[in-house]
Amino acid sequence: MVKVELSGAKDFFDVIGPDYSKISDAHRTLLEKTGAGSEFTGWLELPQNMLKTELKAIQSAAARIKGNSEVLVVVGIGGSYLGARAAIELLRSPNYNLIKKDTPDIFFVGNGLSADAINETIELIGDRDFSVNVISKSGGTLEPALGFRVFKALLEKKYGANAKKRIYATTDAERGLLHDMAAAEGWERFIVPGDVGGRFSVLSAVGILPMAVAGIDVESVLSCAVQELQDLTQQRSAENPAWQYAGARQHLYTLGRTTEILACYEPSFRFMAEWWKQLFGESEGKNGVGIFPASVEYSADLHSMGQYVQDGPRRLMESVVSFDEPNSELKIPFELGNRDGLNYLAGREYSAVQKIAARAVAEAHIKGEVPNISISVPKRDEAGFAALVCFFEMSCALSAYASGVNPFDQPGVEAYKINMFKMLGKE
Ligand code: PA5
């Protein structure tokens, strides 16, 4: 389970402290499914449902893709993209396509409108065998629909009638353009459950199929997630890490901390932070309220954003994610002559240096009046990933309900679409 440490934030609380009665009410509302958006709380049961239903079919599709494709193109955006990429970067590598492996390269497309990005992906695939996993719950989002059109045409050119055996569509069970096309063409279909919103869907086929293709132990991810959600939903007290995190950030928000930066010292966490930004940004930022979610990658960003964090306007709170144990060790070598002056570190592990640096940074930022919330899991592995996903989803729902908004809708994203489709001449 995730551990939350609030000692770096407590000095910034007022005498009353976090309002856990609000979090408790939010918890009840969520579990009793009586709040706004309650029809989208299927993520609470998602891992156990996946283990019982789609997992076997996903694993056999993944085995087929691994057997006949050197590349998998994953087409999707937002909640239909970020979770899978976050998992693959965190659990395999941010350089996944470059590492030596017995699983296909994976390219993510359909998450923007850049011709350059698509052309580069086509060039990188070259004449290698590939398959496409197109993911869209609504089945009509412009960016993935356009991207899919391009890669479907490439598949058809390369494989003719057999192209349809290389298309895997993850979409609504009953409706939408993608659903209709998949049903008509006979592409293999996976479900985005109707009661699970995009940004809460990483543990459905949306995330699980690309993760399985990348060689991640998805059964272990789902089993760990079942346990995590059980713990997070059963514990109704301020000992619950989701209560601690949601309570602290809502309290700090009422005290003027309007921006939260999520920091981590592992580069492999970068897309977890992107996933987290969508989760909290889309869930909380509405009706004129909401903490602005931003992210930094330490220690690199200490040399770019560090100045602002230490010394800029005091509207920040900082949440730092860490892993108790590193996945590998590296001893700092001794150098004869010590010309770089680093022998005082010789013989120490990199991970130990990282831990000390993180402690020093936290102390300095707290002194610079940035409240610090520490979030940790034992390891950067399947269990750690599942724990973080469930913890953030639960915290997000509690935090949004406590702030009085519906965590599960996103009415604001329609405004630009209306303008764009009008300008593009959509009939
Ligand atoms: O969280 C959400 O619902 C959104 O971010 C969607 O995931 C995103 O807009 C993509 O939608 P779709 O899967 O319908 O293409």
Residue pLDDT, tens place only, 84-138: 999 999 999 999 999 999 999 999 999 999 999 999 999 999 999 999 999 999 9
Q: Is the CB of 136 under 6 A from ligand 1?
A: yes
Q: Is the CB of 282 under 6 A from ligand 1?
A: yes
- 212: enclosing H helix or E strand: helix 205-213
User: pLDDT band at 415, cuts 50/70/90?
Assistant: confident
User: pLDDT band at 347, cuts 50/70/90?
Assistant: very high
Mean pLDDT to the nearest integer, 252-265: 98
Q: Do residues 64 and 214 make contact, with C-beta atoms less than 8 angstroms apart? A: no
Neighbour tally for 411: CB within 10 Å: 9
pLDDT at 1 over 90: no
Task: For residue 197, give the ligand 1 atom closest to its CA.
Answer: 3
Q: Is the CB of 80 under 6 A from ligand 1?
A: yes
Q: Is the CB of 22 under 6 A from ligand 1?
A: no
Question: Would you state the structure tokens that stand for residue 189, as one six-digit string?
Answer: 């279909």
**In this structure, which residue's CA is closest to atom 3 in ligand 1?**
198
Task: For residue 144, give the ligand 1 atom closest to its CA.
Answer: 15
pLDDT at 23 over 90: yes
**In this structure, which residue's CA is closest to atom 15 in ligand 1?**
136
Cα-Cα end-to-end distance for the chain: 50
**d(Cα 379, Cα 384) in Å, to the nearest integer?**
6
Q: Do residues 90 and 271 make contact, with C-beta atoms less than 8 angstroms apart? A: yes
pLDDT at 385 over 90: yes
How many angstroms separate the alpha carbon of residue 5 from the centre of ligand 1? 32
User: pLDDT band at 52, cuts 50/70/90?
Assistant: very high
**In this structure, which residue's CA is closest to atom 9 in ligand 1?**
78
How many angstroms separate the alpha carbon of residue 145 from the centre of ligand 1? 12
Q: Is the CB of 204 under 6 A from ligand 1?
A: no
* E strand residue ranges, 187-255: 188-191
pLDDT given at position 350? 97
Q: For residues 179-205, b (16+ Cβ closer than 10 Å) or e, as one string? A: bebbeeeebbbbbbbebbbbbbbbbbb
Question: Which has the higher per-residue pLDDT, 412 or 247?
Answer: 247
Mean pLDDT to the nearest integer, 166-191: 98
pLDDT given at position 414? 83
- Using a pLDDT cut of 90, give the percent of the chain over it: 97
Mean pLDDT to the nearest integer, 51-72: 97
Mean pLDDT to the nearest integer, 261-280: 98
Q: Is the CB of 77 under 6 A from ligand 1?
A: yes
C-alpha 69, offset from chain centre: 26
User: pLDDT band at 407, cuts 50/70/90?
Assistant: very high
How many angstroms separate the alpha carbon of residue 138 from the centre of ligand 1? 7
The residue whose CB lies within 8 Å of the most ligand 1 atoms, and thus the one to mutate among 75, 85, 138, is: 138
Q: Measure the CA dihedral 320/280/42/389, to 10°.
A: -20
Over residues 198-215, the pLDDT tens digits come to 999 999 999 999 999 999
Residue positions annotated with a catalytic role: 282, 303, 417
Tokens 């192209």: give the residue. Answer: 163
pLDDT at 417 over 90: no
Mean pLDDT to the nearest integer, 54-81: 98
Q: Is the CB of 79 under 6 A from ligand 1?
A: yes
How many angstroms separate the alpha carbon of residue 252 from the centre of ligand 1? 29
Q: Is the CB of 241 under 6 A from ligand 1?
A: no
Q: What is the DSSP letter of 6?
A: -
C-alpha 414, offset from chain centre: 22
Q: Point out which residues pair with 321 in neighbouring strands.
A: 264, 375
pLDDT given at position 117? 98
Mean pLDDT to the nearest integer, 143-152: 98
How many angstroms separate the alpha carbon of residue 363 from the centre of ligand 1? 39
Give me the DSSP letters along 128-178. Answer: --EEEEEE-SSS--HHHHHHHHHHHHHHHHHHGGGGGGGEEEEE-SS-SHH
User: pLDDT band at 413, cuts 50/70/90?
Assistant: confident
**d(Cα 176, Cα 173) in Å, to the nearest integer?**
9
Mean pLDDT for the chain? Answer: 97
Q: Quote the pTM value.
A: 0.97
State how beta strands 3-5 and 372-377 pair: antiparallel
pLDDT given at position 45? 97
How many angstroms separate the alpha carbon of residue 78 from the centre of ligand 1? 5
Q: Is the CB of 197 under 6 A from ligand 1?
A: yes
- Using a pLDDT cut of 70, give the percent of the chain over it: 100
**d(Cα 403, Cα 401) in Å, to the nearest integer?**
5
How many angstroms separate the alpha carbon of residue 346 from the centre of ligand 1? 49
pLDDT given at position 139? 94
Reading phi first (left if > 0) and then psi (alpha if -120 to 50, else beta), residue 213 is in: alpha
C-alpha distance from residue 108 to each of 76, 141, 147, 337 (Å): 7, 15, 10, 48
C-alpha 396, offset from chain centre: 13
Neighbour tally for 214: CB within 10 Å: 26
**d(Cα 81, Cα 109) in Å, to the nearest integer?**
9
The residue whose CB lies within 8 Å of the most ligand 1 atoms, and thus the one to mutate among 141, 200, 279, is: 141
Question: Would you state the structure tokens that stand for residue 211, as one six-digit string?
Answer: 């993760």
Over residues 219-238, the pLDDT tens digits come to 999 999 999 999 999 999 99
- Please count the CA atoms within 13 angstroms of the CA of 264 that sit on its side-chain side: 24
Mean pLDDT to the nearest integer, 144-154: 98
pLDDT given at position 171? 98
pLDDT given at position 427? 79
Query: Can you list the alpha helix ranges (DSSP code H) found in 329-402?
Result: 350-367, 382-402
Task: For residue 135, give the ligand 1 atom closest to its CA.
Answer: 13
pLDDT given at position 66? 98
